[in-house]
Structure formats: C-alpha cells, structure tokens
A and B are shown apart, each in its own frame.
Chain A
Amino acid sequence: MLRDGKAITVSGITREFGPATAVDGISFEVDRGEFFGFLGPNGAGKTTLIRMLTTLLKPTSGQAIVSGFDVAEDPARVRKHIGVVPQAMTSDLDLTGRENMDIYGRFYGIRSGERKERIEYLLEMVGLAPRADDLVATYSGGMRRRLEIARVLVHKPALLFLDEPTIGLDPQSRRVVWELLKKLMQGDSITIFLTTHYMEEAELLCGRVAIIDAGKIIAMGSPAALKAGIPGNDIVTLKVGGLTDEIIGAMEKLPFVHKVSREEDSLAASVDNGAENLPQLIDVVRASGGAIVAASVHEQSLEDVFIHYTGKSIREEEARKVSFLIGAGMPQRLGR
C-alpha cells in the first residue's frame, strides 16, 4: 500500500473558489512517521488544503495520494486509513464524551469488545476518563479538543490530520494539547500532518515545516534549516529616543547587520551573533545622536522566516478574531 514509504504525495494541487485561488499549485511529500506542519496566516489556504487531502473538497486540478490512494479517485479508501480533527469543534454537545467516541468507533465498524477497550485507553491517555460520562456541553474548549483528538484515534489511523488544533484555546490548554501530540509521536508509528498559524507550535512540534502564504508554499524544511536559510541568526530590537533614518543608515553599514526594519520608535535588526555585537550596535546609535531606551536580543524564529519571505508578519490580531468566531460557535465555513 505504501510501497514508496510516503504517507502523502501531492503534486500541483489547486483549488479555486470562483475567481479566487485558495490553494495554488502546491507540491510536497510527507514520509511515514514524520510530524509535518503547514504554517501560515489566516486565509493562506491551510484548511482548503487539508480538506482536499481528506476528501472533503475536490481539487480543481492536481493530484494527491494519501495513505497510498488517490483522494479524487478513491476517497472511501483514503477515509478508512486516516484520522482528521477539523478546525471547528465537531463533537456532539448532546452526547457524553464516551458516547461520542463509541458512535465514532461504530462508524468504522470496530467490534464492541475491542472498541470499549480502545476507548478506555484513549480517554485515559487524553485525561478525560473522570469526565467521560458527562455531556460534552459541560466540557471546556480544551477538553473538547482533547476528546476530538482521542475520537479520531479509535480506529488506529496511521495518518493523523489536525487543522489548527489549538486555535481558540487558552495557553494552558494549548500546552496540554502539545504534550498530548508529542506523546502520540513517541508511541505508535504514526504520521502527523498539522496546520497552524502559531509559529511556536510549528517550531515545538514539527520535524519539517512548509510555510504557506496566499495559497503557495514559500519555504519548506526543518525549523532549524528554515532559520539558517535566512541571513543573520539573531534579532536585535532597540527602542531609541530620537530615532532617525540616519541612525538606521549607519547601522545597515555594519558588516554583521543584514536588514533593519523600523516601527515607530523601535527598530529590529537581523544580525549575526547578536549578543556579542550588541555593544557595537549601541555605540553606533549613540554616535548618530540616538538615545537607547531599551534593548533585547532574541534568536530568529519561524516568524522572522515568514517576515523575511513575505515582508509581513503572521498577525496575531487576526488570529484572535478567528478564535473569537470559533468560540461563538460559528460554522467552519464562516470561521476560516
């Protein structure tokens, strides 16, 4: 079935909605056992891509082989082998956690004895055993998400898709979900495909990341390789009293400075060896007539990779808007 060892092979996949192109000729491969992530801002096309890979949307053109089967030609076979946690909360509020899982298990035709055992094990694993017989309506967002992850593992899929699994969760719940996903990777030989717009999520979990913007992959590789692929390795942020263009010009002349961007009275410079070179930077600012108010150095993140390639940041603000919509029970169709 997986003769070539690939869990996912995608070539030139495209999806149009009327005149708009949501996913624009994307190609990539995911090996078995990989934790692969798609990182991109809202509206980048992540959900559309995952829906095509999981047979919910027909590609306009291009091809995707998932678990050895073509998603367009053999959708039923594909569905049998994968587990998918969609972006929106999809557990039944009127059923208990255990009932949710049991019904799901029966959809896959798992026999009763095996099903009960597996459900017990999974409920324990996601920490919901004590609340298993409460209605899902009484669960918190984090609990609901964990239940949904457990639910799609009932039939032991070899390939798991997660569409923004921590969107709309508080930081505490988010960390619990991350721990859960890490634990999953250590156990069974499972392949995980995840999308997110949180760079720390991609950085923490994924072995390999594709950065997606406006329906196209703009960079792909391990987080370390992606960061190494852009000039500099640290970001120095300086808050400067009396910041002028001359100060920025003077900084850009330094050999270890690659790029300086300005936002109001702050500047961010991507540099080599930020900690060692910080005193020299401060000297230059002072020499050009600026006063240092605050300074910080941090390692470059995937966010900086995204900024490097697109010139904009993966805005957190937009993310908050979406999580608000989802919290309010908006359908997936609207709360992209």
Chain B
Amino acid sequence: MTKLLAVIERDLKKFKRNPVVLAMSILMPMIYLVILGNSFQGKLTDLPLAVVSQDQGPYAKRLMEYLMAVQAGPRTFLVLPMDDQRAAVDGVRAGKYKAALIIPPDFSRRVAVSGKPDIGLFLDNTDSISADTIRNLIDAALLSIRSEYVPVREPTGEPLLRDINLYGKVDYYQSLVPGVVIMAIFLGTLTTGAFNLVMDRFLGIEESYLLTPLSKGHIVGGLIISGLSITTVNAILIFMMSVLITGIPFSKGVLNFFPILLVVLLTTLCLLSLMFAIMGRIGHPRIVGVLSGFLNVILFFPSGAVYPVASFPGWLKSFARINPEAYAVDALKSILFKNAGMGNILGDLTFLALFTVAMMSLSILTFKRTL
C-alpha cells in the first residue's frame, strides 16, 4: 500500500510542478466547445422516424407518400410505420427513434373540411440538429399537401403542425456539453497515466524504478490512480464551467451530481486503461503525439457528441457500438437532458465497466517488467 501511494504521490508531485500542462488541460476543452459550437452544420441522413397513421384518408396517404419520397431521395429519415402510438413515443424516449409522427384519425377529414387539422410530432430535442431537421421536413410535407390537394377556395384548410418537445429545451451549444466533458477526459487520460510511463522510458528514468521491488500492479495501478484523480477533477471543473457558459438551467439533470460523477469516473478509468493497453510498450513521446490525433478522431467524432450516431453509415455505426466514448456521451446526455435515473444509464455503465476490465487486463498482461 505504501508503495502504491509512493507511485501516486510521485506522479502527482511531478504534475503539480508543470503548471503549463495544468492550464492547457483546462483551456483546450473549452476552446473545443467554442470551435465545435460554430463549425458543424452538415446534412443529416437516416434519422429513424416512427410514423403512426390512424387515418386511412387520401391526405394521410399523400403525406406518407411524401415521406417515402424523402426517404428514397435525400434519405434524411428512415420511415418506420407503426401501429401503437405509445410504443412510438416510448421509442423516442428510449433513444430508438429521433421522432414519432402521429397522424390522427380525423386528419384527412379536417384537411378537406375547413377545420384545422392537427398532427403530432414527438421530437428527441436533446439532439437539436436532428430535431430541427425533422421538424422542417414535416413542415414542408404538410405545405405540399395543401397546395396540391387543397383547393384555393378552401384557404382555411391549413394543416397545423404542433410539435411537442419531449424534454426541456436544449440548444445546440448546450447539447455539446457532454462531448466537451468527454473531450476533457480524453485529453486528461492521454497526458497522464500511460504517457508518464512513456516519458520515464524516454528519459531513461524508468530503469531505476524497474530496479525496485515495485510490482507491475504497483506501477500500472499507481499511474492509473493518479491519472484518474487528475482527470476527474479536471473534467468536473470543465463540466461546471461549460454548464455556466452555455447556460444549461439548473434543473434536476445538472444537479444530479452522483450519476454524473460516476459516469466521469468510469469513463476516465476506461480511457486510461485503453491508453495503457495501446501505449504500454511505446518508448518515444512522438509516437504518442501521432497516436493522439488519430485516437481523438476515431473516438470522439463517432461518439454522437456532435453528430447523431443514427446518421452514420452502417460500418461506422457498428464502430460506435464498441466505442466507449459513445456510451459515455449517451449516458451524460441522458442524465443532463432527459433526467434519466441510474436505471436508464445502467447499460452504458455496464459497457464502460466491461471495457475497462478488458483493457486493464490486457495492459497488465502486455506490460513488461524488463527492458
């Protein structure tokens, strides 16, 4: 135990004596937040849209045809016809669909007769880009029905779109906060833990530590614990700063501190173990530099932090399924914006825990206690 503590204390002391690293690890994720918040306006595809049509009338059929045409053309959404309205809305809540469109039984009649037709659109507005896109397209669809089928002499037959946000309002900036926290964790785990091992090796200092009675477990465990404490503190600081900057209201979600801390801790542990598994044998910091850019791209962008996972092509979607950052982003979004309890993020936490155990075993297995 004293040995483990000595490894940790040495690492923390060295970190403390490098204030530039300290400042950078706080500043960089914040800059990311600003840059990302202004640079992503891509076109979305394959957003899963549940459609429940309770109307057999001509206008409902027309609307369906229009949606199918969008699916066949620009492929913005994937139309999933359903019967059960409840199941559709629950599906949105569970993150299975980006939106549910409910066409009520009297839709066609109310378009034809001069009454105002109603239509229900349940949006997953925690993902503001895809929510906006879907809303605009449905709007356009309803307009087209009117001009084609509704005679001019019936100008009152204007379909009314009423969209219902399932959760409190989330703007684009705010929706980036989970991603920025994950980014902070990524940068933290990259510059602590295994990286310190690489530096010691590069400077030739490692040799003197291998000569002591320290075990593999002391060395790997100690570096992981010190990296965990540094990175967690950092990530929580950045979380609080970005909540303030983007003005996420202090609702139940933000104040749900224990689950947030748990996700941050587990994600940090997970990425630290991953870094150890990858960098455990590297002897030059330049290789880490090259790797870091690569790892950031393959972990962060397919995580759903800036762009919905649903719009990825199949192969990338499969990758997202084994990407720990995707689970971390999902868990944080659920807590922050959907008021999810521990029960809802259990799946994410389980994956992160399993991934951690696998990577930790791999890194202790591959770590050599000889030169």
- A interface residues (Cβ-Cβ under 8 A, vs B): 51, 54-58, 75-76, 79-80, 82, 84, 86, 88-92, 94-95, 99, 103-104, 106-109, 135, 148, 151-152, 329-333, 335
Contact = CB atoms under 8 A, between A and B. Distances in A.
A56 B6 contact: no
Contacts of A330: 204
A107 B209 contact: yes
A88 B204 CA distance: 7
Given A80-B213, A331-B202, A107 B207 contact: no
Given A79-B212, A107-B3, A107-B212, A95 B10 contact: yes
A331 B3 contact: no
A265 B301 CA distance: 74
Contact of A107 (B14, B213, B283): B213
B63 interface: no
B365 interface: no
A332 B204 contact: yes
Contacts of B38: none
B199 to A, nearest CB: 10
A92 B371 contact: no
A252 B6 CA distance: 66
A152 B212 CA distance: 9
B207 A86 contact: yes
B3 A106 contact: yes
8 contacts: A56-B207, A88-B204, A90-B207, A91-B205, A92-B10, A107-B7, A331-B283, A333-B283
Contact of B214 (A89, A107, A332): A107
A55 B13 CA distance: 28
Contacts of A135: 17
Contacts of A151: 208
A95 B14 contact: yes
Given A86-B207, A106-B3, 20 more contacts: A54-B211, A57-B370, A76-B213, A76-B215, A79-B213, A84-B211, A88-B207, A89-B204, A90-B207, A91-B205, A92-B10, A94-B13, A104-B208, A104-B212, A107-B6, A107-B209, A107-B213, A109-B3, A331-B201, A333-B204
A94 B3 contact: no
Contacts of A332: 204, 207
B2 interface: yes
Contacts of A75: 369
Looking at chain A's contact residues, the main secondary structure is loop
Contacts of B369: 75
A91 B208 CA distance: 8
B17 to A, nearest CB: 5
Given A94-B18, A331-B201, A108 B213 contact: yes
Contacts of A106: 2-3, 5-6
B210 to A, nearest CB: 6
Contact of A94 (B14, B201, B214, B371): B14
Contact of A90 (B14, B208, B214): B208
Contacts of B204: 86, 88-90, 330-333, 335
A79 B201 contact: no
B191 to A, nearest CB: 15
Nearest to A331: B204
